[in-house]
Each structure stands twice: as C-alpha cells, then as structure tokens.
Amino acid sequence: MPTSQPLASKDASLFRQVLKCYEQKQYKKGLKTCEQILRKNPKHGETLAMKGLITNSLGKTEEAFAIAKDALRQDMKSHVCWHVYGLLYRSEKNFEESIKAYKMALRFEPDSQQILRDLALLQIQMRNYDGYVETRKSILQTRPQLRQNWTAVAIAYHLAGQLDEAEKVLIKYEETIQGNVPKWDIEHWETALYKNRIIADSGDIGRALEHLESMAKNCLDKVALLELRAEYLLKLGRKEEAQQAYRILLDRNPERRDYYAELEKAMGIAPKNRHEAKAIYDEYANKFERSDAPRRIPLDFLEGDEFREAANAYLSAKLKKGVPSTFANIKALYADDAKRQTIFELVNSYNEAQEQGKENGETNGSGPSQFRLWTLYFLAQHYDHYRTRNMDKALECLNKALKLAPNTVEFHMTTARVYKHAGDLQKAAQKMDEARILDKSDRYINTKTAKYQLRNDQNEDALKTMSLFTRNEANGGPLGDLLEMQCVWYVAEDAESYMRQNLLSLALKRYQSLWEIFEVWTEDQFDFHSFSLRKGQIRAYIDMLKWEDSLRSHPMFVRAALGAIGAYIKLADMPCLAQGALANGDAARYEKMTDAERKRALKKAKKDAQKAQERAAALAAAKKDDKNKNAQVAEGEVKKEDPDPHGIALARTETPLEEAAKWLKPLLEMSPERLEAQIAGFEVQIRRRQWTLALNCLNKARELATPEDPRVHEMVVRLRHAVNTLPAEEEFKAPETREALLEEVEKILSKDTELSAYNDEFLEKNKDSAAHVRSALRIRSVLKPEAKKDMSPLLSVLDIESTTLDEANEGLKLLYSFGVDENGYKTKAAAKFPLAKVFKGAK
Amino acid sequence: MSPPLTPPPQLHLAPASDPKNISSLKRLNTLLLPIPYRESFYSDILSNATDSALSRVAFWEGSISIVGGIRARWELTDGTLPKEPIADITTIRGGKIYLMTICVLSPFRGVGVAAALLADVVETAKRWGVEEVYAHVWQENRDALEWYRKRGFVVDEGVVEGYYMRLKPGGARIVRLRIKGVS
Ligand SMILES: CC(C)(COP(=O)(O)OP(=O)(O)OC[C@H]1O[C@@H](n2cnc3c(N)ncnc32)[C@H](O)[C@@H]1OP(=O)(O)O)[C@@H](O)C(=O)NCCC(=O)NCCS
C-alpha cells in the first residue's frame, strides 16, 4: 500500500538519500537532508520517522520516540513509520512493543521481507513459537525458492512442539527439489539429518533408522551417521548390530568414554559384572597402545589386587613418559580410601626406588630422568590434596624437583599453590609471579598469577598483570578490554576480592558487569537466528537455543548471583557500608561505636574510597590521551561514558533488598536444586518480610539438605522466632494470611518449642562440627544477644584435628560480625595454621 | 482527579457497531491485549443494543484505521446480565456498566484518546443513571491502575486471584467509578 503522503519527485529522491545516509551511518548528513524535505513538507510522516530513527542512533532516545510518534500521527498508514517505531523499541530492548509495531507495519505492507524478518527474529528471541510459525510461513509463501525458508518453518513447528507438521514441511521441500542435490551440498545433508532428528524425537525409532539408512551413502557427516545408527540399533534392541556399530566408532576414536558405556550395554554386560567389562577395555588397550581411556576407565571399577596392578601399570607408564597431568587424571579416585592408599603406596615406592638407585649411583649422567621428576611432582600434589595434606612434605618434594630442574614451570606453580592452601596468600602470589617471570609469553601462567594476586586482594597488581595480554587502548583500558572480552572469571574474582575488603561499591560494580555479560549472551542469539539458517547449521542451532534457555543456570551466574545477593544483604544490614570500606572488624562494631568513633571510621572509609577513585581516574585520564591519538571514532557515533565507574551509585541504592530480589528471580528459577540458592532466597525474603516466600525457600531447602544441616537448622529457628515475635499490626497481602503462615510454620517447628534450649541441644549434639557450631552461635546471638560473648565452642573447634583452614577462617569472620574480641581466637588459630596470614597480628 | 481536557481535534469517535469497525476493534484488541476474546464478544456488538451503545472506536484524522476502542456492557445491579437483551435502551434505569476492554495504539497514547472513549461511556452511564462503571485490571498493570485512579476510579482492596488464566501472576484488581447525578 503506498503511503498516503506522496512526495514531489525532487523530495522523493532526497528521501532516498536519507535512507542511504542512514545505512552508511552518515547521521549528520541524513538529519540535514530530513530537515530539507521537512521545510517544504513539514507533516511528511516517513521523513519524520527517518529523522526519529537517526536521532535515536545519535543516542537521543527520548527525543527520537517523540519524533517517531509525531510521524505516526501524521501518517499512521505508513509501514515505514510503524517499522521505525518498532526499531526504536527494539533498540530499547522492549521486544513486546516492538513486535506489536512490526505487526502494524505488516498490516500496511504485508509482503515486506525486511519487516517479516525483523518480526520473526523477535518472535523466536521471545520464544513466541506460535507467532514464529505464522511469520515464517508468510516468509516462505513470498520466497519459496530459498531452502532456509523451508527449514525455518520446520524449525518453527519443531519448537512449537508440532513434530509431524515439521516433518511434513521438510518432505514437501524435498519434493520441490526432486532429488537434485549436488554431492557436496553440506546444507542439504544437514537438513536431512535434522529431519532424521525430528523423526526420532517423535518416538518412531524404527522409521528414523530406515530414513537414516536411506541417506547413508551420500550424507557427508559420517560421524553423525554412525552415532545415530548405533544409538537407534541399541534402542531397538538389535544388540548384535549395535555392538558392531559401537565397535566401528571405537576404532575411529578409542578415547570416547560413552562409546564404551554403550558398547557394554549392547553386549548386555550388567553393571555389576565388571569382570566381563574388563575384557573389553583390555582388548582396546592392546589394540591402541597410546590410548588413555581403556586404561583409565577400569581404575574406576577395579578393586584390590586387580586395582593395584592396573594402577601400577597406568601410573608408571604416565610418569615415565613425563605426563604432568597424571595426578589430575586420577584425582577423582581419591574419594575412595583404599584406592587413595594404594596409589600413594605405589608412587611412594617409585620414589623410594629412585632414591635408592641414586645412592647406588645408578643415574646415567644425562640429567634427571622424567620418571624421577614427575614422581616427585606427583607426590607433591598428593601432599597438597586436601584429603592427604602435609605442607612440609609437599614443599620438600617440590624443592627436590626444583633442584633437579629449576626452570620447570609446573613445580613453581604448585609451590605457589601449596602456600595458597596454607593460607599465606601473599607468598602464594609472589611465588606465582616468580613462575610467570620464567616465561613471560605464557598466557596461562600470566592468568594464574593475576588470579593469585586477586586472592591476595592486590587488585591493582592483578590488573597490571592482566594488562600484559589485553588491548590496553580499548575503551576503559585493560579492565574495559577484559569486560569487552567477557573475561568472567576475572570479574568474579575481582568482585569477591572487593567483598572481602568490604568495598561493596566496587564489588557491586563487578557483579553488575557480570549481569550485563549474561544479558549480552542472551542477546547474542539474535545473530544466530539468521546466521544459522543461512548457513544451514540447524542441529547446532537448536542445541544453542536450548542452551540459551537455561543460560542462567550456568555456575558462573549462580556464583555471581550469590555474591551480589550477599553484597546487597550486607548493605541492608549495615547501610554504613555504602559509604565505602570499613575494615572487617569496624563494620561490625560500627553499630556500637560512639559518635566520634563513627565519624572517624566513616571519614577514613570515605577517604580510602576517594583515593581509590582518584587513582583510577588518573589512570583513565592517562589512557584517554593515548586513545584520542590513535582512535578513529565513526561519525557521530556515541561512545557511552560510564557515569558510575566505581559503583558508588549502585551501593547508595535505597532499596538493596529489591535489587537482591532481581538477582534472586533467575537464580531460583534456573537453579532451584541448589541449596545455596534457596538459602539466599530465604535471607532476602525474610528481610523483606515476605514470610510465605521465605517459607517456600526454607521448605525447598529442607528437601535438598539432610535434616541435620546446620543452615537448615538456622533457618528453621529464625523463621520460628520471627513468626513468634510478629507484631500484631503486621500486614499480610492477600492471598497470604497470618493464619496460613502460622499453620505452615507449625508443621516445621512447633510454637511451643523453647527455642534457646532447642538450639543449645543442637550445639551440644554437634559441637565437633565447625559449621554446626557457627550456626548455633549465630542463632544464640539472635535469641540471647547477651550470650554473644561466650565463644568457647568456637575455640574448641580449633582443637579438632580435622578442622580446615577455611573453617577456621569462617570462625574468625563470625567473631568479626559479632564485634567480639578476636585475639584469643587468632592466637589459637595461628598456632594451628602457622602460615595463615589472617590469624597474624593478635594483640 | 485531573480536570477534563478537551479532546485533540484530530480525534473522532464512531460506533463500533459497523462490521468494518468491529473487525478493526478485534484486530486492535488481539494486538494489544494479552488475552483473546470469544467471537460473541464482537458479534454481540451488532446484535445487542446495549452492547452497541457502549462500544466505540476512535479514528485519527480521517484515517481509515482505528487507533483505539472501548467495549462495555450493561448489567443488573447484582452483576448478572438481563435475561432478555434490552430492545429499547431508552428504558434503561440503574444497573451497572462493566468495562470489558479499552485500549489505544501506543503512539497515540497520552493525548486523550482513552479519555474520550471513557467519557463517551460515562456520559451514557449518567444518562441511564447506573450506579457505577467498573472493570477488572491485571494486578501488574500499574499504568492502567494509575490511569483509572486519576479518572476518579477507586481501586478495591485485595486481589481477585486466578482471574487471568494466561498471565502470571493471574490476579486482577477491581476499579469502580461511582456515577453521581442519577436522574
Ligand atoms: C491505559 C490506556 C488505555 C490509556 O490510554 P491513553 O489514550 O494513553 O489515555 P489518555 O490519553 O486518556 O490519558 C493518558 C494521559 O494523557 C493526558 N492527556 C493529554 N492530552 C489529553 C487530552 N486532550 N485529554 C485527556 N487527557 C490528555 C492525560 O492527562 C493522561 O495523563 P494522566 O493519566 O497523568 O492524567 C492505554 O495505555 C492502553 O491502551 N494500554 C494498553 C491496554 C490496557 O492496559 N488497557 C487497560 C486494561 S483493559
């Protein structure tokens, strides 16, 4: 439908020029041309629309919307005006409104490929499958000659759960091409394999196998063919053939663990019958001399002498060859006491034989053997493992190894690691840095060094280390580049370091960056909706969509969410922290300080924060100068300066708990099976006085944890206590009612329970477990604040042999949070963990 | 309650009871509202005199496409529908008016389109002397709740749970406008 506002031919050509300017990002020129047209035709809707679009590209969103609306009020029948209106919403990420606008645009221009494509993109991005089916069908109708338009409709049906429709579309497509397929046409075979997957997904495996075999000769993805065939045969119970199929696959790749597992199934070997299974692995070990899997897998299930024999063969071969990762390969077996013992005995016996050999003068003069070096290295890692930790012995082994081969980077790195585990983070970082200097071009060790520096809260040093490998002229310097490169481990470690220093603003800033990176990963799909179709990579595309759907269950998101929620809870509990860092003890004591003390503490904190800010600003300014010299910024394109680079505004939020709830939502949605997530949910909701939501989290946590779990105990008592002390005027929002809440809590712990006694009993029963003791003491401080001073159970925990450094550290944090004198504890802990820096400096 | 503004000059209202306008109204509602309505929701406007009197579409500057629409119905005081459709609407006295849908295309919001549509219904309400004009609003639709409030509607305490089956959360709030000056 033509616009209702035709332009004179001269103006029409000017309009075409505007379109061109926009495409070529010549925004200023485009705007000028718009004004030229508007001078004569002030009410020309499409020109106004283009003016709005360009204005938006120049970063003036609000103005752009006003212009675009005006455009529509002048010419509401123009698809251009509606399309632009949709594009503006799209750039604001308001996809719902954008979809509506595109639909209006299509009403006036139903065949526009551009708009149909834009609409389809948004629909699939929003997982609006029904809408996507409709739009893809329209596109197919207008352009049936393109294969991707057919596959797209099939994908749409597939995702909407209509497998039979999806298959029908692909059959129709095959009819249209009538078998005219060039041999090398990868995309065709990809589509065929996709069709095969649809058939299999619909449950008819027999037909899927038939279909697969019909293309076996020509299809180019041989591995997929073989794997699917084996899978189908096994599912159909054709075991002989399935065996053969898996053997063909194993001959191609004897390292794939699941092939072995499937072969076992095909051979009907019961999970208990390990004797028969071993024969398979022996067979492949003999057949493939260099293969790891058939040698390593049996170690998982062999026992006793058989295990000893196999482990001996495995370990000695690896160590003689000098495989640095030998320990990492077998570490998983350390969960089994007997196997751990056997492994140690074996490697220790190599060591003893080697030492003996040396005494007997058996070294051949050409330097230390690989076997000697990596045996020592293995033992060092053994003594560094948390189940068998002995720091002195670990260092002894490493020193021996270093004497023999002073420049071996692994030995240096593990030395650093041993110090880290002993709690001397400074020495650990220093050792790692020494290792780095051995080979400055090794990016791996560079990264490790930065990580160790962050663990030691040397944030600036860490960034400097990273900057040896970043593009430092990037917007925002090295940190800007790390963010741009989505280096999430660094951002997370940096955040956690700032958390330890109680620099909540910077910690929140980093967490915010992580949030944004995940947003970007969601957005990245946009590129693939069209790219994958064009390239015909359908199966990978469908996998990608599924991956995206559960993106926020990723461990990194969980880690960031838990951290950010922790930071906001801290802010809610101690608003003074928004002012900047207060040293650990100060934060807890703040509430009890005299006014003068408070002033001093805050002043110091503010000053520290300011200093940090100034340093960063100076650094940024210096960088900017360089940048201006060599950067060429595209015309008019806006470089968005970060208005809050230090997260000051983030930390000053008036509603920290609402911010926490924002993180909580995807966390609970995507990772409800994580106990930590439910605990975080409880902590947030109980502070928001959202009793039912807190109760829900508690109930889920009770399902996930053992009844004796200290954190569950804590939550149960706290909720009971909170409910017992609810004020009469507490408001309940429908459908929540006081009665229902009371009833539900009663089911967990009766209102008649004497909570203090209940908690003391729990403490008495679990006084040998550090985590239980901490929970009980926290509860006690809630129920009887005056009993806070009695920290003897916490000190007793230090007497227990098995108490780890982490546990001891948690105990110290508890003391800080109570604002109780920590010197006695520190002295005692320092005796137990002499290298740990946190316990140093007791008065 | 804000003082009434004059409607924008480009705007004019028309009865929805014209087959063409009805299909426009349907398309508008499908585009803008998250829930689909039954066929009779639209066909009744043609056949039922009270439905017809309470449904309007809004045009912008002579355009053939509508930018907004309203659809309401008349109920007895107890909230039930009359057993027989009312043939002669001039005989109506009392009862209530239930606002079923009101919506405006987004670029045409904020200039008084919905206000004009509502004013038309309220005028009828006054003429008929009904007790109140009321509506369900999705609990999360803050903008709409605010819009009603500013037009003198009172929002009931409490949420009608499970009112919208397709939405999450599914609760609705009820908003009511008392009609004064019953004649
Ligand atoms: C809720 C909705 C119907 C309001 O439509 P609208 O046309 O923007 O409403 P109005 O233009 O009458 O009022 C919006 C603002 O414009 C202002 N306005 C500007 N010019 C005006 C004029 N000439 N006359 C009246 N109001 C005018 C009003 O003062 C009002 O501001 P206020 O609420 O702060 O007082 C619309 O937002 C909509 O369609 N939403 C989606 C569907 C929906 O949620 N429907 C409601 C549930 S069924």
Residue A689 tokens, joined: 């006085």
| Domain closes at, from A194, A215, A236 | A215
pLDDT band at A575 (very low <50, low <70, confident <90, very high): confident
Structure confidence at residue A475 (pLDDT): 86
Asked if residue A583 belongs to a domain, the reply is yes
Whether residue A764 has pLDDT greater than 60: yes
Structure confidence at residue A184 (pLDDT): 84
Residue A806 CB partners (closer than 8 Å, separation 6+): none
Give the three-state DSSP class for B96: strand
pLDDT by residue (tens digit) across A592-646?
A: 566 677 677 777 777 776 776 676 666 666 655 554 544 444 444 455 678 888 8
Window from A32-41, A459-468, A728-737 with minimum mean pLDDT: A728-737
Q: Which of chain B's residues have a Cβ under 8 Å away from the Cβ of A735?
A: 159, 161
Instruction: Tell me which of B29, B30, B31 to substitute to probe the interface with A (most A C-beta atoms closer than 10 Å).
Output: B31
What is each CA distance from B105 to A101, A423, A743, in whole angstroms? Answer: 9, 63, 48
Which residue in the block uniquely carries the two structure tokens 């199966």? A539
Percent of chain A at pLDDT > 90 equals: 81
Candidate from B27, B32, B67 with C-beta closest to A76: B67
Structure confidence at residue A737 (pLDDT): 87
In chain B, the N- to C-terminal Cα span, in Å, equals 23
Average pLDDT value over all residues in chain B: 92
CA distance A757 to A749: 13
| Domain closes at, from A215, A240, A263 | A215
Residue A601 tokens, joined: 């503490």
Which residue of chain B has the CA closest to A66?
B107
CB A491 within 8 A of CB A483: yes
Domain harbouring A124, CATH code:
1.25.40.1040
Asked if residue A177 belongs to a domain, the reply is yes
Asked if residue A514 belongs to a domain, the reply is yes
Give the three-state DSSP class for A632: coil
Asked if residue A77 belongs to a domain, the reply is yes
Give the three-state DSSP class for A189: helix
Mean pLDDT, residues B96-106 taken together? 96
| Domain closes at, from A215, A250, A273 | A215
Question: A752 burial class (0-12, 13-18, 19+ CB within 10 angstroms)?
Answer: exposed
Who wins on pLDDT, A229 or B1?
A229
Q: Which of chain B's residues have a Cβ under 8 Å away from the Cβ of A107?
A: 27, 65
The CATH architecture of the domain made up of B11-135 is: 3-Layer(aba) Sandwich (3.40)
pLDDT by residue (tens digit) across A275-284?
A: 899 999 999 9
Mean pLDDT, residues A203-222 taken together? 94
Mean pLDDT, residues A526-549 taken together? 94
Structure confidence at residue B155 (pLDDT): 93
> CA A538: distance to chain centroid?
25
Who wins on pLDDT, A212 or A595?
A212
Asked if residue A202 belongs to a domain, the reply is yes
Residue B168 tokens, joined: 């999450």
- Contact of A101 with chain B, judged by CB distance below 8 Å, is answered with yes
Whether residue A361 has pLDDT greater than 50: no
For A239, other C-beta atoms within 10 Å of its C-beta total: 14
Mean pLDDT, residues B38-56 taken together? 95
Whether residue A194 has pLDDT greater than 60: yes
Which residue in the block uniquely carries the two structure tokens 């993180």? A663
CA distance A475 to A483: 10
Whether residue A108 has pLDDT greater than 50: yes
Helix H, strand E, coil C: the string for chain B is: CCCCCCCCCCEEEEECCCHHHHHHHHHHHHHHCCCCCCHHHHHHHHHCHHHHHCEEEEEECCCCCEEEEEEEEEECCCCCCCCCCCCCHHHCCCCEEEEEEEEECHHHCCCCHHHHHHHHHHHHHHHHCCCEEEEEEECCCHHHHHHHHHCCCEECCCCECCCCCCCCCCCEEEEEEECCCCC
Structure confidence at residue A181 (pLDDT): 80
- The strand ranges marked E within B76-179 are 96-104, 132-138, 154-155, 172-178
Asked if residue A139 belongs to a domain, the reply is yes
pLDDT by residue (tens digit) across B2-36?
A: 567 899 999 999 999 999 999 999 999 999 998 89
- Contact of B158 with chain A, judged by CB distance below 8 Å, is answered with yes
CB B13 within 8 A of CB B120: yes
Residue boundaries of the structural domains of chain B: 11-135
Asked if residue A736 belongs to a domain, the reply is no
Q: How many domains does chain A have?
A: 2
Whether residue B42 has pLDDT greater than 90: yes
For A37, other C-beta atoms within 10 Å of its C-beta total: 24
Asked if residue A146 belongs to a domain, the reply is yes
Structure confidence at residue A203 (pLDDT): 94
Atom number in ligand 1 closest to CA B102: 48
CB A136 within 8 A of CB A148: no
Minimum CA distance residue for ligand 1 atom 5: B114
Structure confidence at residue A167 (pLDDT): 97
Percent of chain A at pLDDT > 70 equals: 93
Domain assignment of residue A616, given as a range: 486-621+644-671
Mean pLDDT, residues A33-44 taken together? 95
Window from A237-246, A587-596, B115-124 with minimum mean pLDDT: A587-596
pLDDT by residue (tens digit) across A253-295?
A: 999 999 999 999 999 999 888 889 999 999 999 999 999 999 9
Atom number in ligand 1 closest to CA B100: 48
Query: What ipTM score was computed for the predicted complex, to two decimals?
Result: 0.85
C-alpha Rg value of chain A to the nearest Å: 33
pLDDT band at A841 (very low <50, low <70, confident <90, very high): confident
Mean pLDDT, residues A182-210 taken together? 93
Whether residue A458 has pLDDT greater than 90: yes
Whether residue A43 has pLDDT greater than 50: yes
Whether residue A785 has pLDDT greater than 90: no
Average pLDDT value over all residues in chain A: 91
Structure confidence at residue A391 (pLDDT): 93
CA distance B167 to B170: 5
Structure confidence at residue A609 (pLDDT): 66
Report the C-alpha dihedral over residues A474, A480, A481, A487, rounded to 10 degrees: -170
